[in-house]
Structure 1
Amino acid sequence: MEKELIDRLAIRDLIENWAVWRDAGDWERFATVWHDDGVMMATWFQGPARDFIRVTQEGWKKGVSILHFLGGSSIDLAGDRAIVQTKMTISQRGDVQGVLCDVVCTGRFYDFVEKRDGRWGVVLRQPIYEKDRVDPVDPSVRLELDRKALAEFPVGYRHLAYIQTQIGYTVKRDMPQLTGAEVEALYARGAQWLAGEKL
């Protein structure tokens, strides 16, 4: 029981460090939350964690502003493996058709984590996108969105995809949302991971 409690505390610490160190630009420590084969999935990037760190740094230099806020976590623990779901918001500030805006997306981080050589690390991070919105930073400014273009994106991250496309990113359009085949497949993959299967 004591070992399980220590593992749960270490896992929660890992998840919180991810958000704090990434958003602070503490790249050396941010790299330590991942295992060497770690993979990051996001609307605008899918691939190895080391490449995610690099492209995030490049985005910072271009003025891309994406921040994260965490809520509660649920940890399903199975020996040296765990699935961690953490409530979160993604907040991105940027130009939308000449208007400075904030897009806020609410969802969950769904993390595949593993303890290797006594250290917990992220093997795969897959966000689940539940709902989002866009607001001008100056509420007196009128924002006119292209409704047809907006409707082409998945409902759970429609506004986030819209702003990311506006600044030049290619957005993945089949990410898990609150319901649907993609999130059900993710849950099944998580159960297989906890049962000892490979990703």
Structure 2
Amino acid sequence: MDKLDILWSEREIRAVLQRYCRGLDRLDEELVKSAYHEDAHDDRGVIRGNAHDFVKQIVPLLRDAYTGTLHTLHGSTIEIDGDAAGVESYCTAYHYRESDGIKRVEQFAGRYVDRFERRDGVWKIARRLVLNDFSLAQEVPLDPAEAQAGFNPSHRDLTDASYQVLPLRGPDAPTL
């Protein structure tokens, strides 16, 4: 592998990671699935199995249980070996919900430990292990509508403004 191929591969892998997070926050099942190979395995401890089956479960759960989510990536270590790569990504996920009149934010901080494979020239996740470093839940004292007054609203679906500038999605979408 030459240096240019390594750099391009790293860029493609980072794009897959971002696509995964964006898909979760926009509740875009096809976008999330596009980060995984069809036969990919996802292991979160309590949920283990085919990644596409996981996506079919998690997107409706996020839609029904939370008013909003925000998945962020903080740093990824990528080691490429031909058409395989080991990737560790630090991540934080924020989930907002109201239950029994109490508004709270649940935070997950952990790592995605992934095996990526390049198949037919396309990098995707083949195996994912999610590690929990810590989690917490906090009550929100301020009504989020008050805190967000004046900001442009975010939407958790295909009507989100980001789809006006990022119209292509799914496994066939170019990364540039």
- What is the TM-score when the length of structure 2 is the normalising length? 0.70
Q: Is 1:85 the counterpart of 2:64 in the alignment? A: no
Q: Is 1:57 the counterpart of 2:23 in the alignment? A: no
Runs of 4+ aligned residues of structure 1 deviating over 6 Å after TM superposition are none
1:116-171 deviation per Cα after TM superposition (whole angstroms, max 9, x unaligned): 111111111111211222210127xxxxxxxxxxxxxxxxxxxxxxxxxxxxxxxx
Instruction: Between the two structures, name the one with larger relative contact order (CA 8 Å, sep ≥ 6).
Output: 2
- The residue that corresponds to 2:115 in the other structure is 112
Write the distance in 2 (CA, Å) between the matches of 1:98 and 1:124: 39
Q: Is 1:130 the counterpart of 2:147 in the alignment? A: no
* Pair 1:91–1:43, CA change in 2 (3 A): farther
Amino acid at match of 2:33: A
In structure 1, runs of 5+ residues without a counterpart are: 140-199
Task: Say which structure is richer in strand.
Answer: 2
- What is the TM-score when the length of structure 1 is the normalising length? 0.63
Q: Indicate conservation of the 8 Å contact 2:21/2:72, yes or no.
A: yes
Write the distance in 2 (CA, Å) between the matches of 1:103 and 1:60: 12
In structure 2, runs of 5+ residues without a counterpart are: 143-176
Q: Indicate conservation of the 8 Å contact 2:24/2:59, yes or no.
A: no
Residue from 4, 9, 12 that aligns with 2:11: 9
Residue from 74, 86, 111 that aligns with 1:71: 74
Residue identity over aligned pairs, in percent, reads 24
Please provide the CA RMSD for this pair: 2.2
- The residue that corresponds to 2:97 in the other structure is 94
- The residue that corresponds to 2:29 in the other structure is 27
**Number of residue pairs aligned between Structure 1 and Structure 2:** 140
Write the distance in 2 (CA, Å) between the matches of 1:133 and 1:30: 25
Task: Say which structure is richer in helix.
Answer: 1
Q: Indicate conservation of the 8 Å contact 2:28/2:59, yes or no.
A: no
Write the distance in 1 (CA, Å) between the matches of 2:33 and 2:12: 16
Amino acid at match of 2:140: V
Q: Secondary structure at the match of 1:20?
A: helix
